[in-house]
Structure formats: C-alpha cells, structure tokens
C-alpha cells in the first residue's frame, strides 16, 4: 500500500534537509499539496481560500484552463533552449505594447535578478555609482537591495543598514536611503550627492501607496539632476492596471522591472527601458567598457513565455480589471465593516488589487509609520483567519480573478470570527 505522509511528517522531513525547515519564503508550518482556482489544500487535506496566490503570480488563480492548455501545447515542443525562441519574442512584444517605458526588454528568471540588473544598467548608462532607495522598499536579494529593507533599528537618513549577513560594509557606502513619500528628503540628498545613478522605488511600496504628486515629484527631481528613475514593478506590473503602476499613476520611469504575473506562474521576469538605455546589453553598440553582460540558463524559456502570453491575453479582455478591483473592494469592505462594528482601530492600506489591514489610527505613509499599535492583534487576526480556512501572508492580501461570491461569503464569516478572537483577549 502506498504510504501517504501527513503534514507533520513532511514538516519533520523538511527540518532535516532545509535550513529552518523551509524554502525561506513563507511559514514552514504549512505544506501545500495542490491548488485549483481560488483554493489551495495542505498535505492533511485542509482547504483554504488562497489570498497569497504564490506571493502574487497567480493573478488568474491556480490552473487556469487556458494557461494550462497553452503550456501543455508547448511542452512536447521543448522546455528550454538557451537560445532565442519565438514565444519569448512574442512575449517581449506584448510587454512593450503594454508598458510605457519599455522599448526593449531583457528576460531573467526572477524579480530579484531583474532588480539587480536594473541597478547595474543604471550605473552603466550614467557612469555613476550611488543608488537612492527608500527605507522598507523591497528589491530582491542583491547586496544593494538588502539595505534598509526591514531595519530593526532606526538610524539617521541616508545611512543604509544591511539586512543580511555577508554584505561588505563598502556596499552601504554606495546606497542612500530616504523615507518614502518625502520629496524634500530626496531633493536634499540629490542636491548633496552628484554621483547618484538612479532612484529605485516600488511605486506602491509593499502596500503603502504614493501620496498624490509624489511619483511625479520623483520624476521631476530625476530630470533635474540627470538621474534615472527605476520603477520596481515586479508586484505592480499587470496588477494595478494592464500597464502597471505607470498606467495607473501616469508617471513613466526610465527603467522598470517586471515579474510575478508576467510569467503566468512560471519563473520569468524582465527589465525594460528605452533602446538608448538598453543598448548597454549590446557590446557592438557600446564597446567593451560600456557593455553589461547578462545571461541566464532559463531566461525567456518558452514554457514560461507561453504562460505569460496567455495570461496577458486574458488580462486584456474587457472588464478584467473592473472585476479584480471589485473583488478587492469587497474584501476591504468586509474587514472594515467587522472591525468598525467592534470598535477596533484600523486602516486599510494599499490598493484594491493589493492591500492589508494595519491595527492603528495613524496615517501609514512610510516604513516607520506603517505599523500596528498592538502587533499581537495582527497575530491573533491572521492566526484565526488561517484556522478558518483563509490563506494569506501576515502583512499582505492578494485578490485574484478566481475569487467567487462564495469565497467572499466564507471570508466574511472568517473575518467575523477573527474580530471576535481579538475582542476576546
């Protein structure tokens, strides 16, 4: 008889072979067995409504039949070639049609890779070295990106604080850190430092939205100081709108990075810019000194490309983003109604397509202000939601197009239970 491992057994096996028992991404205390539509199941058969959706890529839900059909059609034709393929070229064309700043793109396998190359590209183009980023901004796992992502101690701006062991002190000297949503701080730093290659920003920083005029203000400052503006749209690309944050906020960066939904659930990301900037990937145009070497075994592989192409095709259909935003608005209202009735201070922070609750009365405008007055309330809230069949990260909720009215009603019941659990403490 085939032995089926329980979740507890899988956790024991993971602890034996994986540092901290996990892949480094999410709570290792749950082992997901499968996903379908808006739902996932763990290895014990427990069913959840999935508002994590792979940390964003599964915008259409799990196993969308049209994406599956496209992938299954490609598989017998080849899974990867380390050479140009027509599907990757088609996907590049679709991205360029959608994203305002992109005249050309380069593919990589992960968002962190795309962000790393975007930083390197900005330095190659400007021949400057410093990068200005924002405290709390997430840009992958490169040494520069791991500066002041989630600092546990507050230091004076613009000092950069490494969030990881193994990063040389010299990296901090090349990174300036400013508070998000503070144009005066950025302006002062650019006045003081004439060697800044780029400002790198999540246009929606984690879930904290830009204040009106903030992104345009960054654009204007970059123009004034001949600094490149990089939008990290790994999360917001094809989520906030079909053209991403650039479309939603009406501000065009010099370089952007894309990932998550772009690959339809497969490992694929990209960076894009004007042909003038992207020429640094072409040694014949810029010579040895200006050339930025970039390659990757799985970059632009055809399976990920067809999944991305079909995903983008579906997202272009009439009413798609209206549906996504309506779902997100309903999920926000469910939580606001329950918390308001209970008299629990809270704020919805983010966009209808990506948000969460902070248990606070304060305005959440940057890393230091976006926090819970009582963090234990957030723990109770999310633990209870998980126990009631809601699967989400403790600081972010991703709506998907697969969410149904029945899912919303189950979520309402779970939220009411979570609010009661807070009140019972």
Catalytic residue ranges: 138, 232, 260
Write out the two tokens for 309: 């192409």
Strands 104-108 and 269-273: antiparallel
- What SS3 class is residue 5? coil
> What distance in Å separates the CA atoms of residue 312 and residue 264, rounded to the nearest whole number?
8
Q: Closest by alpha carbon to 194, among 218, 224, 161? A: 224
Contacts of 296 (CB under 8 A, 6+ apart): 107, 108, 109, 113
> What distance in Å separates the CA atoms of residue 380 and residue 168, rounded to the nearest whole number?
38
Secondary-structure percent of the chain, ordered helix, strand, coil, rounded to 5: 40, 15, 40
Q: Residue 178 pairs with which residues in a beta bridge?
A: 134
**Phi, psi at 39, each rounded to 5°:** -120, 150
> What distance in Å separates the CA atoms of residue 403 and residue 52, rounded to the nearest whole number?
12
> What distance in Å separates the CA atoms of residue 399 and residue 397, rounded to the nearest whole number?
6
Work out the number of other CB atoms within 10 angstroms of the CB of residue 376: 11
> What distance in Å separates the CA atoms of residue 193 and residue 173, rounded to the nearest whole number?
12
Q: Closest by alpha carbon to 11, among 26, 25, 27, 30? A: 30
Q: Closest by alpha carbon to 38, among 407, 334, 322? A: 407
Do residues 356 and 350 touch, judged by C-beta distance below 8 A? yes
> What distance in Å separates the CA atoms of residue 174 and residue 172, rounded to the nearest whole number?
5
> What distance in Å separates the CA atoms of residue 248 and residue 388, rounded to the nearest whole number?
34
> What distance in Å separates the CA atoms of residue 367 and residue 410, rounded to the nearest whole number?
32
> What distance in Å separates the CA atoms of residue 386 and residue 365, rounded to the nearest whole number?
28
């Amino acid at each position: 008889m085939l032995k089926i491992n329980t979740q507890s057994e899988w956790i024991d096996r993971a602890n034996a072979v994986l540092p901290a028992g996990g892949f480094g991404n999410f709570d290792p205390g749950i082992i997901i067995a499968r996903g379908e539509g808006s739902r996932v199941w763990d290895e014990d058969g427990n069913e959840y409504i999935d508002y994590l959706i792979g940390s964003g890529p599964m915008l259409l839900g799990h196993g969308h039949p049209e994406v599956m059909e496209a992938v299954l059609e490609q598989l017998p034709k080849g899974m990867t070639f380390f050479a140009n393929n027509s599907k990757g070229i088609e996907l590049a064309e679709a991205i360029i049609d959608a994203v305002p700043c992109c005249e050309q793109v380069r593919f990589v396998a992960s968002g962190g890779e795309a962000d790393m190359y975007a930083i390197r590209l900005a330095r190659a183009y400007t021949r400057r070295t410093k990068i200005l980023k924002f405290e709390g901004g997430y840009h992958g796992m490169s040494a520069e990106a791991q500066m002041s992502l989630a600092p546990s101690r507050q230091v004076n701006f613009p000092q950069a604080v490494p969030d990881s062991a193994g990063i040389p002190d010299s990296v901090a000297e090349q990174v300036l850190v400013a508070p998000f949503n503070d144009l005066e701080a950025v302006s002062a730093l650019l006045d003081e430092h004439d060697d800044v290659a780029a400002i790198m920003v999540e246009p929606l920083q984690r879930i904290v939205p830009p204040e009106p005029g903030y992104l345009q203000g960054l654009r204007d400052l970059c123009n004034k100081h001949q600094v490149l503006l990089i939008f990290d749209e790994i999360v917001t690309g094809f989520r906030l709108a079909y053209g991403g944050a650039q479309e939603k906020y009406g501000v065009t960066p010099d370089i952007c990075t894309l990932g998550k939904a772009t690959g339809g659930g497969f490992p694929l990301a990209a960076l894009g810019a004007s042909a003038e900037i992207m020429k640094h990937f072409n040694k014949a145009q810029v010579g040895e000194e200006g050339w930025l070497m970039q390659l990757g075994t799985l970059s632009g592989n055809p399976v990920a490309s067809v999944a991305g192409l079909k995903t983008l095709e579906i997202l272009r259909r009439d009413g798609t983003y209206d549906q996504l935003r309506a779902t997100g608005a309903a999920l926000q209202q469910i939580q606001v109604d329950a918390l308001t009735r209970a008299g629990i201070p809270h704020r919805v922070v983010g966009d209808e397509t990506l948000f969460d609750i902070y248990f606070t009365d304060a305005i959440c405008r940057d890393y230091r202000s976006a926090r819970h007055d009582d963090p234990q309330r957030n723990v109770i809230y999310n633990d209870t939601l998980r126990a009631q069949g809601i699967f989400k990260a403790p600081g972010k909720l991703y709506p998907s197009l697969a969410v149904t009215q029945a899912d919303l009603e189950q979520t309402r019941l779970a939220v009411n239970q979570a609010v009661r659990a807070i009140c019972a403490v």
